[in-house]
Chains A and B, each alone.
Chain A
Amino acid sequence: MTASPTSAPGSALPSTCEENWRYAPLRGLERLQWTPPAALTDDAIASARALLGDTEATGARWTFIDGHFAAALSSGPSPQASAAADATDSGADLAFARLNRSHAAVPVTLRIPADTTLDLELACVAQSVGHPAFIIEVGSGAKLRLVEQHLGAANALTNLWLQLRLAPGARVEHSRLLQPASGARHFETLQLRLDAGAELHLVQLTTGGAATRSTALVDLAGADATLRWHTAMLGAGQQAHDAYVRVTHDAPGARTEQAYRGIAADRSRIAFNGHMRVTSRARGANSDQTLRSLLAGPAAEANARPQLEIDTDDVRASHGATVGKLDADMLFYLLSRGIAPDAAESLLKWAFVSDVLAKLPDAALRARFETAIAPLLPGAEAARSLA
């Protein structure tokens, strides 16, 4: 069922009764306004400019406001729009993708020619309601360094759809910073496909807003495709963050390394569901998964769920999931060195997510991601420059 562009999504959305949506922040969505503004206003551009501030892109930058391309805040080649097949799959996993397709008529398409290199930043600013839609095709042997940042105004609503296809031998460094403003909601559906020998290194940091749900469906379709997926999630206040990542190893020698680090402070709820599928075609596949969450608030909630579904004998799969509290021995060690309790806790939380941030491709990017979480970790700021 496809929602009408002017109506509330209602029954088109999944419910928390469904397995992969159990912890998703779905309550009250049918009452939200889902129709994006028809065009960009000067005010929207001015406030987006202020929000983006002095963050400088090293290569081309495309800025989108509520899904509309903002040429005034962009540099490099202009994006192309092209008709794309709708997300026709009727499964619940693509419910938000269908909603996106029903609102964003034409996705932005980027085709990177074979054996070329591109450095691109996608800045998505949410002002009211947006359904940004992207199709990115990375040609054979091409290299893409993609930085994707989501930020915006309080109480905004974003429903992103991103399709990324890597031709044989393509390499992509994909750094994603999800940083919605207070009260804002961010939903997204990522559909990723890797052909033979392609490599995708993805690092994602989710923090802020009222609620986020990230659905990522990854298809390792070609032999020896390699996926490295590192996610950090920091919940505070009454935020709810939920992610479902399904990786299908569907060719011989497909490899995945996945690490998740989540911190739930205050009354926040965070969840990560890492679903690894290995089909009978994926002989010699390798899947390595560590999911760790930290409960850092008396009323916080954290769920970390590894799921393995294996249809071949010739596979090496390891997984581990833990939910714990700050280590009392580490904490006492820091206190015994004169460090104040708040700063010591911040420092340990900082250390906890540093596994993920260390995977970012360069120091400047790392500093930018660290700036996003610094307000949540008071007293640990000085650790940044030394990390």
Chain B
Amino acid sequence: MLEIKDLHASVGGRKVLDGISLTVPAGEVHAIMGPNGSGKSTLSYVLAGRPGYEVTGGSVLFRGQDLLALAPEERAQAGVFLGFQYPVEIPGVNNVYLLKAALNAARKHRGLPEVDAFEFLQLVRSKMKLMQMDEAFLSRGVNEGFSGGEKKRNEILQMLVLEPALALLDETDSGLDIDALKVVANGVNTLRAPDRSIVLVTHYQRLLDHIRPDRVHVLARGRILRSGGPELALELEARGYDWLLAEAAA
């Protein structure tokens, strides 16, 4: 699904990713963990194509296609979804419009006609129920006046409606209380499928109590320091990151 080879990237002339190699097969959930400033968010943004994040070396294949050659909207249409750490508020553009426009953009890419208005509303309502969101929110501006937790739920709602092939969730667990965390995790789990991959970027083990990853990677100083099974996350929870950084420096 996703094949990253020796990826280097810089932001504002500062090197942030320093040779990342990572393969995420279809059907798997991978967690990327690491201390603050390790390059986790940069990796998400580079994969989504955010302007200002300059790739200086390496390659990224998504379903065998050169992902880095695509514009941000083409990546999304092809099935890459970024769940933002800090979703932006867009007053005046309402949620239901954004959902519909995004879904139709993806459908157009697949050669499908625009979604039927009735079916669309049914789909959105069922996903909102799953995310325990109030329907009144549909007519509100995108993320306008939402709490941190509501914004994260909204990201997952969008993901559930769009059903991407690859979901990159950037610290989707941050700012969530335990109940909201369960709702969000449940939303993510319903999307697990053999033809879909999910990359969770997170600081903490607690999200992984609810979403069991197939693989865990530790990212620090712009590199993957170690990869392992779910037990690696538990070890990090117990021991922190310093021992890994010390080992890497040795």
Measured CB to CB, the residues of A under 8 A from B are 327-330, 332-341, 343-344, 347-348, 350-352, 354-355, 382-383, 386-387
Shortest CB-to-CB span from B16 to chain A, Å, is 17
Residues of B within 8 A of A335 (CB): 49, 71-73, 76
- Known contacts A328-B51, A339-B105; 19 additional CB pairs below 8 A are A333-B88, A333-B90, A334-B93, A334-B98, A336-B50, A336-B72, A336-B81, A337-B102, A337-B105, A338-B76, A338-B105, A338-B106, A341-B71, A341-B73, A347-B97, A351-B92, A351-B141, A355-B91, A382-B100
- By beta carbon, the residue of chain A nearest B72 is A335
Question: Is there contact, CB below 8 Å, between A386 and B97?
Answer: yes
Question: Is there contact, CB below 8 Å, between B51 and A383?
Answer: no
Contact residues, B37-83 vs A (CB, 8 A): 48-51, 71-73, 75-77, 81-82
Residues of B within 8 A of A386 (CB): 94, 96-97, 100
**Count, A-B residue pairs, CB within 8 A:** 87
**Interchain CA distance A330-B91 in the complex, whole Å:** 10
**Interchain CA distance A178-B176 in the complex, whole Å:** 48
B172 at the interface (CB under 8 A from A): no
Question: Is there contact, CB below 8 Å, between B109 and A337?
Answer: no
Q: A337-B102, A386-B97 are in contact. Are A351 and B76 (CB under 8 A)?
A: no
B145 at the interface (CB under 8 A from A): no
Question: Is there contact, CB below 8 Å, between A339 and B101?
Answer: yes
Which are the 8 A-B pairs with shortest beta-carbon distances? A351-B92, A338-B105, A338-B76, A337-B102, A354-B92, A335-B72, A338-B77, A335-B73
Q: A348-B90, A383-B93, A386-B94 are in contact. Are A332 and B72 (CB under 8 A)?
A: yes
Interface residues on B, range: 20 to 34
**Interchain CA distance A328-B51 in the complex, whole Å:** 9
Question: Is there contact, CB below 8 Å, between B105 and A336?
Answer: no
> Which of B76, B81, B97, B162: most chain A CB closer than 10 A?
B97
Shortest CB-to-CB span from A148 to chain B, Å, is 25
**Interchain CA distance A341-B88 in the complex, whole Å:** 17
Shortest CB-to-CB span from B62 to chain A, Å, is 14
Q: A330-B90, A387-B94 are in contact. Are A382 and B101 (CB under 8 A)?
A: yes
Residues of B within 8 A of A327 (CB): 88
B84 at the interface (CB under 8 A from A): yes
Question: Is there contact, CB below 8 Å, between B92 and A355?
Answer: yes
Measured CB to CB, the residues of B under 8 A from A are 48-51, 71-73, 75-77, 81-82, 84, 87-88, 90-94, 96-98, 100-102, 105-106, 109, 141-142, 158, 162
Question: Is there contact, CB below 8 Å, between B105 and A340?
Answer: yes
Question: Is there contact, CB below 8 Å, between B93 and A350?
Answer: yes
**Interchain CA distance A310-B162 in the complex, whole Å:** 55
- By beta carbon, the residue of chain B nearest A261 is B92
Residues of A within 8 A of B93 (CB): 334, 347-348, 350-351, 383
- By beta carbon, the residue of chain A nearest B97 is A386
**Interchain CA distance A255-B91 in the complex, whole Å:** 26
Question: Is there contact, CB below 8 Å, between A333 and B76?
Answer: no
- By beta carbon, the residue of chain A nearest B91 is A351
**Interchain CA distance A351-B141 in the complex, whole Å:** 9
**Interchain CA distance A339-B142 in the complex, whole Å:** 14
Residues of A within 8 A of B105 (CB): 337-340
- By beta carbon, the residue of chain B nearest A385 is B97
> Which of A330, A333, A341: most chain B CB closer than 10 A?
A333
**Interchain CA distance A108-B102 in the complex, whole Å:** 52
Residues of B within 8 A of A343 (CB): 101
16 A-B Cβ contacts within 8 A?
A: A328-B51, A330-B90, A333-B84, A333-B87, A335-B72, A336-B49, A336-B75, A337-B76, A337-B101, A338-B77, A338-B106, A339-B98, A339-B101, A339-B105, A343-B101, A386-B97
> Which of B76, B93, B96: most chain A CB closer than 10 A?
B93
**Interchain CA distance A382-B102 in the complex, whole Å:** 12
**Interchain CA distance A208-B91 in the complex, whole Å:** 26
Shortest CB-to-CB span from A372 to chain B, Å, is 17
Shortest CB-to-CB span from A250 to chain B, Å, is 35
- By beta carbon, the residue of chain B nearest A379 is B101
**Interchain CA distance A2-B102 in the complex, whole Å:** 59
> Which of B72, B84, B94: most chain A CB closer than 10 A?
B72
- The contact of A350 among B81, B92, B98, by CB within 8 Å, is B92
**Interchain CA distance A341-B71 in the complex, whole Å:** 10
Shortest CB-to-CB span from B232 to chain A, Å, is 29
Residues of A within 8 A of B73 (CB): 335-336, 338-341, 344
Question: Is there contact, CB below 8 Å, between A336 and B92?
Answer: no
- By beta carbon, the residue of chain B nearest A352 is B92
Residues of A within 8 A of B91 (CB): 351, 355
Residues of A within 8 A of B96 (CB): 386
Shortest CB-to-CB span from A13 to chain B, Å, is 38
Residues of B within 8 A of A347 (CB): 93, 97, 101
Residues of A within 8 A of B51 (CB): 328, 332
Residues of B within 8 A of A333 (CB): 84, 87-88, 90, 142
Shortest CB-to-CB span from A299 to chain B, Å, is 22
Residues of A within 8 A of B82 (CB): 336
Q: A343-B101, A383-B97, A386-B97 are in contact. Are A336 and B76 (CB under 8 A)?
A: yes
Question: Is there contact, CB below 8 Å, between B88 and A338?
Answer: no
**Interchain CA distance A44-B72 in the complex, whole Å:** 51
Residues of B within 8 A of A383 (CB): 93-94, 97, 101
> Which of A341, A350, A386: most chain B CB closer than 10 A?
A386
Residues of A within 8 A of B162 (CB): 337-338
- By beta carbon, the residue of chain A nearest B138 is A386
- By beta carbon, the residue of chain B nearest A332 is B50
**Interchain CA distance A350-B75 in the complex, whole Å:** 25
**Interchain CA distance A332-B82 in the complex, whole Å:** 11
Q: A338-B105, A338-B109, A383-B93 are in contact. Are A330 and B88 (CB under 8 A)?
A: yes
